[in-house]
């Protein structure tokens, strides 16, 4: 309670313009550049920046490992002798996600009960950082070793994302979720852009263009991850709660809380509907994250152009995050999500048409690549904005008394979506890229149709009612 009272005092002092020892100074409202500062007026600035630091930290794993380098290293070096490298990569990734699917709801419920979100966040973060460095040990053909290191690394990264998202309701009001989530996502994309610049420079300066030479980048990714977790470790605080299940064994309390939530699931039908929609368009997001570099190489991009292409997607992602940051809280979470899904659906259909024209071209080597750059920009805008918008939308409909539990389920859904990338990989290996991209568009269509069923106001009222019943204030 002393920690909670201190946080409240800090917030009230900042609100009165009094600088407390533990608070970062807020920009003065209405003065010059401070009008453009997305977090202007929010209390607990140091807390928010410590949270953002973890979003920056895990970009090294998202970008260098999952999106850009390790997917190619796995298919061209580790599984080079396999007839189905894309399927093997998808199965390896899906195995780690299946573990997250099984663990997320229970881990989230336990974190809510014992106020362990910070501990879980920091432990999984450092575990992922260490395992990421160990990816540099893998040699050609060592499939078992690659899976033994990558699967727990991606498990730690992915379940850590759940605990990170669960902090959002502690850092801002529901009316500001889009602003905070979008700004953090934008900072993460800016960090990803810096990582891309450093990677491209290292490839040029040290001659590290071939996939076999990329092990130093894996070590660098792990070091980056660990370094940016340090502010989270030092400055992020968690609001203490009183355990609601005293006397229940620690190994059982997560199951007990989850069972109680399932009893009242009908009260949160709009949140559940949103989760169902997230499963389908989350699959599309996972496909882009884990197959973007593979697809770009298929259309003739060498290693340097590949890094530039992912850089273009990243720059567009920074711009894309401005949409939820600036407009989502006013425009509406549902309307923003629908608009972004329509954009992504049109882009995926355009990508499929481009792939078809490329496949029937008499000379694929000279086929124009400018449409791919245009599509890459649209993909980046959709990826950055849709991810941020979804996190804020779930937080908007989640009871504050069960944030880690809800985001545990949210994490389970998105990791299950990653498992659903297997049909994309199988179709790609058997029937070609064009058909696989049409499968991607199909997932988006279903996700869009389900999102139309969400009633945003009813869902928020249900969350606020659950908080009143639990004795939790706004």
Amino acid 446: pLDDT: 93
3-class DSSP assignment, residue 309: helix
Give the start-to-end residue ranges of the domains of the chain: 46-237+262-467
Check residues 354 and 90 and name the one with the higher pLDDT: 354
Check residues 372 and 7 and name the one with the higher pLDDT: 372
Check residues 14 and 213 and name the one with the higher pLDDT: 213
Confidence of residue 54 (pLDDT cuts 50, 70, 90): very high
Check residues 357 and 404 and name the one with the higher pLDDT: 357
> Of 63, 77, 64, 20, nearest to 45 (Cα)?
20
Q: Contact 94/161 with Cβ under 8 angstroms?
A: no
Amino acid 85: pLDDT: 82
Check residues 291 and 389 and name the one with the higher pLDDT: 389
Where residue 361 falls (left for φ over 0; alpha for ψ -120 to 50; beta otherwise) is beta
Check residues 139 and 265 and name the one with the higher pLDDT: 139
Q: What is the mean pLDDT of residues 252-280?
A: 76
In angstroms, the CA 474 to CA 467 distance is 8
Interacting residues of 106 by C-beta distance below 8 A, sequence separation 6+: 254, 255, 258, 408
First to last CA, the chain: 17
Confidence of residue 3 (pLDDT cuts 50, 70, 90): very low
CA dihedral 262, 268, 270, 271 (to 10 degrees): -70
Q: Contact 97/415 with Cβ under 8 angstroms?
A: yes
DSSP letters, 382-435, are: HHHHHHHHHHHHHHHHS-GGGHHHHHHHHHHHHHHHHHTHHHHHHHHHHH-HHH
Q: What is the mean pLDDT of residues 139-155?
A: 93
Give the global pTM.
Answer: 0.69
Interacting residues of 329 by C-beta distance below 8 A, sequence separation 6+: 175, 176, 177, 178, 179
pLDDT at 239 over 90: no
The topology (CATH level 3) of 46-237+262-467 is: Growth Hormone; Chain: A; (1.20.1250)
pLDDT at 146 over 90: yes
In angstroms, the Cα distances linking 414 to 226, 238, 255 are 24, 24, 21
For the ranges 185-189, 382-386, 445-449, which has the lowest average pLDDT? 382-386
Check residues 440 and 323 and name the one with the higher pLDDT: 440
Selection from 48-52, 149-153, 396-400 with the highest mean pLDDT: 149-153
Amino acid 358: pLDDT: 83
> Of 414, 78, 470, 461, nearest to 257 (Cα)?
470
Confidence of residue 263 (pLDDT cuts 50, 70, 90): low
In angstroms, the CA 8 to CA 14 distance is 10
Q: Contact 229/122 with Cβ under 8 angstroms?
A: yes
Where is 443: in which H helix or E strand? helix 433-451
pLDDT at 7 over 80: no
In angstroms, the CA 385 to CA 379 distance is 10
By percentage, how much of the chain surpasses pLDDT 90?
Answer: 23
**How many other C-beta atoms lie within 10 A of the C-beta of residue 124?**
23
In angstroms, the CA 376 to CA 296 distance is 10
Q: What is the mean pLDDT of residues 75-101?
A: 83
Q: Over the stretch 55-68, which tens digit does the pLDDT of each residue have? A: 999 999 988 898 78
Q: Over the stretch 367-379, which tens digit does the pLDDT of each residue have? A: 787 888 888 788 7
Selection from 167-171, 252-256, 258-262, 293-297 with the highest mean pLDDT: 167-171
In angstroms, the Cα distances linking 64 to 132, 170, 227, 293, 310 are 10, 30, 16, 11, 10
């Amino acid at each position: 309670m002393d920690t909670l009272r201190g946080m409240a005092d800090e917030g009230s002092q900042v609100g009165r313009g009094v600088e407390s020892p533990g608070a970062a100074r807020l920009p003065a409202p209405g003065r010059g550049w401070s009008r453009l500062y997305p977090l202007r007026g929010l209390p607990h600035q140091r807390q928010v920046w410590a949270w953002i630091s973890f979003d920056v930290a895990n970009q090294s794993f998202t970008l260098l490992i999952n999106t850009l380098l390790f997917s190619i290293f796995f298919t061209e070096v580790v599984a080079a002798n396999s007839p189905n490298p894309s399927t093997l990569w998808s199965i390896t990734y899906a195995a780690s996600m299946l573990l997250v699917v099984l663990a997320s709801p229970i881990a989230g419920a336990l974190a809510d009960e014992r106020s362990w979100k910070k501990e879980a966040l920091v432990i999984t973060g450092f575990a992922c950082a260490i395992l990421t460095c160990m990816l540099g040990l893998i040699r050609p053909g060592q499939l078992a070793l690659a899976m033994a290191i990558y699967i727990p690394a991606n498990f730690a990264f992915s379940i850590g994302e759940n605990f990170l998202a669960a902090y959002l309701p502690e850092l801002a009001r529901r009316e500001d979720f889009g602003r905070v989530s979008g700004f953090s996502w934008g900072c993460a994309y800016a960090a990803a852009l810096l990582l891309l610049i450093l990677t491209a420079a290292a490839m040029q300066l040290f001659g590290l263009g071939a996939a076999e030479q990329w092990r130093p980048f894996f070590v660098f990714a792990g070091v980056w991850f660990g370094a940016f977790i340090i502010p989270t470790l030092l400055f992020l605080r968690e609001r203490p709660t009183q355990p609601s299940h005293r006397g229940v064994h620690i190994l059982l309390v997560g199951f007990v809380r989850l069972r109680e939530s399932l009893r009242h699931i009908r009260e949160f039908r709009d949140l559940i509907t949103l989760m169902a929609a997230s499963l389908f368009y989350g699959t599309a997001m996972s496909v882009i994250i884990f197959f973007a570099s593979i697809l770009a190489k298929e259309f003739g991009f060498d290693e340097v152009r590949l890094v530039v292409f992912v850089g273009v997607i990243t720059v567009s992602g920074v711009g894309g995050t401005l949409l939820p940051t600036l407009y989502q809280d006013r425009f509406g979470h549902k309307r923003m999500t629908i608009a972004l899904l329509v954009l992504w659906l049109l882009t995926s259909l355009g990508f499929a048409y481009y792939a078809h024209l490329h496949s029937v071209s008499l000379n694929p080597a000279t086929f124009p690549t400018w449409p791919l750059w245009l599509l890459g920009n649209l993909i980046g805008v959709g990826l950055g904005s849709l991810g941020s918008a979804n996190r804020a939308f779930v937080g908007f409909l989640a009871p504050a008394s069960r944030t880690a539990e809800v985001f545990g389920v949210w994490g389970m859904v998105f990791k299950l979506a990653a498992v659903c990338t297997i049909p994309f990989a199988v179709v790609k290996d058997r029937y070609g890229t064009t058909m696989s991209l049409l499968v991607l568009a199909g997932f988006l269509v279903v996700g869009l149709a389900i999102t139309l069923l969400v009633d945003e106001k009813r869902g928020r009222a249900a969350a606020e009612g659950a908080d009143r019943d639990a004795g939790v204030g706004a």
